[in-house]
Amino acid sequence: MNLRFYLLLLLCVGLLAEAPPARAQQAAPPATFFGTYTYRSYAILDQESGPELLPAQGVGGTLTLRANGTYQKRLTLAANGGTMRFDQDGRFTFTPGHISFMYPDKNGRSRTDEGTFRLVKNSLTITLAGYPAGNQSIYILRRL
């Protein structure tokens, strides 16, 4: 990836770090929050590897957020000479700046991914907490 991509990701992470704390009451989101987004980039912050973001290659797919609290994730990444799919269907909840995704894993057990989000015009950035603590997954999406 090029330097502009890394700078954009670092800017998004910095903006998320400066986001004001969530209010106790859930505010109604703008109507433009719900809908379908395309994945533009995906990067991982792995503390063991260092402070640099590790960008994924060949990012594609969609994320659909519905007003009824359900979502559909169809993420694809280039890997091992082919394409890997990461599909999820589940529910999401949010308060200003915070989002949670609840879904069954491949063994049917309930999982929850939590983090922050920032919507600016048609650009949605989602940063999810990773494991071990301190690691993050950063998604940048564009509304269709």
**Mind listing the pLDDT tens digit for each residue in 88-101?**
999 999 998 999 99
**What confidence tens digit (pLDDT) does each residue in 13-58 have?**
443 444 444 444 445 566 678 999 999 999 999 988 888 999 999 9
Percent of the chain at pLDDT exceeding 70 = 78
Closest CA relative to residue 95, chosen from 34, 22, 37, 31: 22
Other CB atoms within a 10 A radius of the CB of residue 32 amount to 11
The structure tokens listed for 134 are 């301190």
> Within 10 Å of residue 3's Cβ, how many Cβ atoms?
7
- Output the six-digit token pair for 65: 């957020």
Q: What are the φ/ψ torsions at residue 21 (nearest 5 degrees)?
A: -65, 150
pTM for this one?
A: 0.78
